[in-house]
Each structure stands twice: as structure tokens, then as C-alpha cells.
Chains A and B, each alone.
Chain A
Amino acid sequence: MGDFLQQLIGYINPYYLQIFVNIGIGIILALGLNVVTGLTGQLSLGHAAFMSIGAFTSAVLTIKLGMPFSINLLLTGFITAAVAALIGLPILRLTGDYLAICTLGFAEIVKVVFLNLDITNRALGLSVPSANTEIPMPVVVWIVVLLTIVCVTCIHNSRFGRALMAVRGDEIAAEAMGINVTRYKVQSFALGAFIAGVGGGLYAHFMGYINPSDFGFLKSVDILSMVVLGGLGSITGSVIGATILSAAPEFLRFMANYRMLVYGGLLVCMMIFRPNGLMGGTSFTEIVLRALGRKPRLKAIMEQKNSELSRSGNGDT
């Protein structure tokens, strides 16, 4: 199985393969941040820090213990989530700009710590041995992408997800509904970090070399741009946003020196013409159902309920 996939991957142009994997990792990171910033409404400017914690944890786990990659990734996720929960408890009591600056500071601290630890090889960066798995990395990355999409979709539609949306909507009202706001904020922060950590682990093993400077402020902003471009809170949006922004620097390469200019212009235009992001205020299921000429499920349920109510005598007409 592994050999076969390896052979198959061999047919793909390595340059395109690299872009393809970058897109996958971008999607994972964007989906993680979307839980924190999109769904729960907590602006984080330090998402790359969790990616770097994941990258280094995963790399060290492979180097020191050489454990199977699936267990490695899971463990990495949990360790990153634990760090996030620890940091989140004090700082998630802050809101808005204050929280953003705190996460920014935290990200800088993480960077400096990794630049000074022996185990992460200080400023020289760490060479990461290949992952302990038979399946080639690009395939692993995309399996994780799919798993992440499925998990995040389940969360969106769950009771937990509803509570997070309520926290985004109005913290005081959420509290008045019996929602433990601090707990949910910390949980969503940890969940976002878990996903970022796994993304970081994949990045480390795909790249084969990581340096603390790879995960600086610009990386955090990159991820945030993906989420905002796609539309805060939208899963499909995050996927599209991450795809466009991960691929844009490459397909704009023909413009040579002007490409970052166009890239920036693209973002500015987007925010002017679709300030809620590409998928803001709409949902993928709704678009598909409309294209198929069918009513969304929720709407059907509501209409059924409506007719029941009017039959029982207190409904609207």
C-alpha cells in the first residue's frame, strides 16, 4: 500500500506536490484558527506559536522516541492543547484588542524560548528525520485535512458549537443562558491549538527542517488572513481562503517582482467588496441545496413545525 502510493506520488511534479501540501497544511491551520476567532470570536494573533509548539514537539518526539507517526501527531496535539489551556486560562479573560496583544506577546515568547533551547538546536533550527510511517507525507497531510474538516463540521453543528457561537454573539447574554463562558473560551482555544499543533507536526515532517523564525508574527497574520478572507466562522470559507492564499504566491509568480503587490491588492479588494469574507453570511450546504433546487433541511423542518402550529390553532397565517 505504502509503496504503491509512493510510486503514484512519484508521477506528480514535485513543485506542484509542494504547493498541494502547503495548501493542505494551510487549510488545517486556518480551520484551527477559525474555531477560536471565527466560531468563538476571540481574536488571536499568535496562532503560529501553536504551530511551532506542535512542529518542535513532533520533531523531538520523532528524534528521541521514534514512535509511530499517528501516535506522534495525537500526542503533539494534546501537548499543544495543554499549553494553550494553560495560557488561555489567564488571558482569555481579556477581550478584543487586549487579547490580541496578549496572544501576540505569547507568540514572541514561544519564539524566543525555542531560539534558546538546546533540544530545539537554538537558532540553527532542527533537522527533522522522516516520519515513522509507510504512507507518503502528502497523503498523510490530506488525510488529516479531511479528518479536520469532518471534526470541525461536527463541532459547528453540536451543542458545544452553539455555545461557542453564543459566546461570540454576546458574552453576558451567553452567561445568562447558563453557559460557562470562560470554560468554553479555554476549550475552544485548546481545540484550535490542538489542530494547529497537528498542522505544525505535519509541516515539520514534510519540510524536514524547522526554524523558530518560520513561525513568527507574519505566519500568524497569514493564517488570520486566510480565515478572514474566507469569512469568519465559515468552514468552507476557511478552506477556500487557505487554498487561495497558500497558492496565490505561486500562481502569481509569472508577475515576478509585482506578485506581492497583486497579492496585497487582492486582499484589499476582497475586504472592500466582500467585507464578510467569501463565504460570510452564507453556507456551503445552502448553496449546494439551492443549486440542486431543494430547500435547506432546517427550513423544511421549520415549515413543518409551522404548519403543525397553525393546525393547533395558535400559528401564523
Chain B
Amino acid sequence: MLTLDQLYVNYGAINALKSISCTVKQGEIVALIGANGAGKTTILNAISGIVPTLSGTVTFLDETITAIPPHEIVKRGISQVPEGRRVFANMSVLENLEMGAYIRNDKSAILAEIDQVFARFPRLLERKKQLAKTLSGGEQQMLAMGRALMSRPKLLLLDEPSMGLAPMLVAQIFSIIQEINASGTTIMLVEQNANMALSIAHRAYVLETGTVVLQGDAKELAANPEVRKAYLGE
């Protein structure tokens, strides 16, 4: 479904990504794990077009999307939940969801989609008239995910969904991610919390300073002594 082929990204003189190649297959949850500055977020930003690439290609559903601007990529069916949630603080929950459906025109389908999001996140329904800035961190994460689902993406890019959340909420968010995946959305997940990420992912890539150092089945990676030592705190 998604293929990155020898992707290079520079920030000024710094090589953020060095020859990254990876694939995401239809229906998978793929996790990207690694330390700070490994290039996890940069990969997501390069896919969604926010960061320009130096060389290499991103192919999505047999189309090269490397040079396509971000707003066009959303229309192709890739939706990103940016790091730090970035909800529209001064809009209500409902308005945030409506913004998520900005590229769609079918009113009744959008309303149905809103109902679906509310069914998935009952907490948002309770808060739907509130301004997004008055929500708690976990609720904002739910809103950001709900908003991204409003464009009915084929591929959902999640950037650090566990950031700044209490362990119980993290577990809740991750089970919701599995539900979203079960209902047919392919997911690419960037996480610091490698334990959680590997527990729900099918496959994973381990990144170090802009290169893929390990890859494979998530269960196997979670059992790999090197990974356990470096990322799982053993």
C-alpha cells in the first residue's frame, strides 16, 4: 500500500533521514520506534508532504506522491494525527470534527461519520460543544484521532499518541487504535513507548539516527534482546 524507497531528508546541513526504505501493507499496523531524534516524526512528515524530501520516493497505492503538496496527499487518503495533537483550540469539538471532513462535500455522509466518531469516542459526544482547548490531554488526543478519521483515510499516520498521557489512558487509546485498524484502516504508528507500540503492531521498524537498524515482526522484535535492552528498559 505504502512504499518508501531510499528516502533522504535534510534539515539544513543535518541529514535527518538516510536512505529509509520501508513498506506498509493493506490492513497492517506498522510501528516506527526509536529514540529522540531518530527520524520517526520526519518519516511521517515526509509521507504527508509537510517536509520536503531530498531524494528517494514515496509510493502510495501505485502512485508516486513524493512531490505532491500536503493538502493533495490528504485527498489521496492519507491522514495524519500530528505530534502534540494540534486540535483547533478555539473551535468546538464538533467544529473540529467538521474541519476534519473539509475535503469532503457529501453532507449526510459527513453527519454519519460524526456519529461514528462519537460512537467510537463517547467522551467527545459529552464534550461536543466545548472549545477544544478546554479538553484534557487524553480527550484532545481522541479529538485529534477522530478529526483525522473524518476524512475517511485509507492510511492513518499516528504521531506519538501516548505523549503526555496517564498509563490508563494510553492503554485506552491503544485499544482504540486496534479497533480502528480492525474496521479496515491501515495504520502507521510512531511511538516512544516501544512496549505499547510493539504489543499492538503487526510489524515494526527500529530507527537510529535516520536509518533503519532493525525490522520485522513486532512480536519477534519485542523478544529481541538488543531491542529489549535499548528500548524496553531491560
In chain B between 80 and 136, which residues have their CB closer than 8 angstroms to a CB of chain A? 80-82, 86-91, 94-95, 98-100, 102-103, 115, 118-119, 122, 125-126, 128-129
The answer, yes or no, to whether A70 is at the interface (CB within 8 Å) is no
Q: In angstroms, how far is the closest chain A Cβ from the Cβ of B84?
A: 9
| Chain A neighbourhood of B71, CB < 8 A | 175, 178-181
The docked-state distance in angstroms from the alpha carbon of A169 to that of B89 is 7
| Chain B neighbourhood of A174, CB < 8 A | 99
Q: In angstroms, how far is the closest chain A Cβ from the Cβ of B25?
A: 23
| Chain B neighbourhood of A312, CB < 8 A | 115
| Chain A neighbourhood of B115, CB < 8 A | 309, 312, 314
The answer, yes or no, to whether B147 is at the interface (CB within 8 Å) is yes
The docked-state distance in angstroms from the alpha carbon of A166 to that of B90 is 9
The answer, yes or no, to whether B69 is at the interface (CB within 8 Å) is yes
| Chain B neighbourhood of A177, CB < 8 A | 74, 99-100, 102-103, 147, 151
CB-CB nearest in chain B for A301:
B94
The answer, yes or no, to whether A173 is at the interface (CB within 8 Å) is yes
In chain A between 145 and 189, which residues have their CB closer than 8 angstroms to a CB of chain B? 159, 162-163, 165-166, 169-170, 172-181
B70, A173: Cβ atoms closer than 8 Å: no
In this complex, how many residues of chain A approach chain B with their Cβ under 8 Å: the count is 24
A178 CB contact (under 8 Å) in B90, B98, B103: B103
B102, A178: Cβ atoms closer than 8 Å: yes
In chain A between 285 and 317, which residues have their CB closer than 8 angstroms to a CB of chain B? 299, 302, 309, 312, 314-316
Size class of the B contact interface (CB-based, 8 Å): 35 or more
| Chain A neighbourhood of B128, CB < 8 A | 302
CB-CB nearest in chain A for B101:
A177
| Chain A neighbourhood of B90, CB < 8 A | 165, 169
Chain A, residues 76-119, CB within 8 Å of chain B (1/0): the string is: 00000000000000000000000000000000000000000000
CB-CB nearest in chain B for A166:
B99
Asked, given contacts A302-B128, A302-B129, A309-B125, whether A178 binds B75 with beta carbons under 8 Å apart, the answer is yes
**Most-contacted residue by chain B among A163, A175, A180 (CB, 10 A):** A175
Q: In angstroms, how far is the closest chain A Cβ from the Cβ of B200?
A: 23
20 contacts between A and B (CB under 8 A): A159-B102, A162-B98, A163-B102, A165-B88, A166-B88, A166-B102, A169-B90, A169-B91, A170-B86, A170-B88, A172-B82, A176-B50, A176-B79, A177-B147, A179-B71, A180-B69, A309-B115, A309-B125, A312-B115, A315-B125
Q: Closest 6 interchain pairs by CB?
A: A178-B74, A169-B88, A178-B103, A173-B86, A180-B71, A175-B70
Interface residues, chain A, with chain B CB atoms under 8 Å away:
159, 162-163, 165-166, 169-170, 172-181, 299, 302, 309, 312, 314-316
Interface residues, chain B, with chain A CB atoms under 8 Å away:
48, 50, 69-71, 74-75, 79-82, 86-91, 94-95, 98-100, 102-103, 115, 118-119, 122, 125-126, 128-129, 147-148, 151
